[in-house]
A and B are shown apart, each in its own frame.
Chain A
Amino acid sequence: AQSVSQHNHHVILSEAASLELGCNYSYGGTVNLFWYVQYPGQHLQLLLKYFSGDPLVKGIKGFEAEFIKSKFSFNLRKPSVQWSDTAEYFCAVNDRGFQKLVFGTGTRLLVSP
């Protein structure tokens, strides 16, 4: 069965610091990869997605993620975080051809001003 691991459960950064959140998945087939963000008290929103092509994907609000197939990883990055990036971040994977997404356990990011 597919699984998604997010190793950092809580991350605390100061504004302007760089961010990298790890995501590893276990599945040998062809997958689609996603990062969702959930701001406090809100629902999940899509940050970015990878289906195929350039493994470096750019999303909204300055976020990007790199798909490294050999490492089964899809890490999320942002060069300079802002206080407004305080949120929970979820990595998700699905097997192409299937609708079900497998989510990681989430990483709570706190950015101090």
Chain B
Amino acid sequence: DVVLTQTPVSLLISLGGQASISCRSSQSLVHSNGNTYLHWYLQKPGQSPQLLIYQVSNRFSGIPDRFSGSGSGTDFTLKISRVEPEDLGVYYCLQRTHNPYTFGAGTKLELK
């Protein structure tokens, strides 16, 4: 199974600051069709996860441009600029290239 290694485990960021989360895969996430199915989710306390970024770098509808995704192959990054209080929670990467699908262990974003 594909293992996704997320770092760091937790982030302490000041309001207005920038956060960067890494997601590294144990194998390439490029699908045979050429697409890369690496997605990012945010789970706020007490809520279901919400989709932020799909296929590496595409922001889902309504997601502010403060969120950006990048990467290729096995290395991916989620950047959050100008952090706001509503951004707090746990961020997960998910790969949907290889069955079975797998999540990263999560990165908790907290305010400094």
Task: Say if A and B assemble together.
Answer: no
Q: Measuring CB to CB, which residues of chain A are less than 8 angstroms from any residue of chain B?
A: none
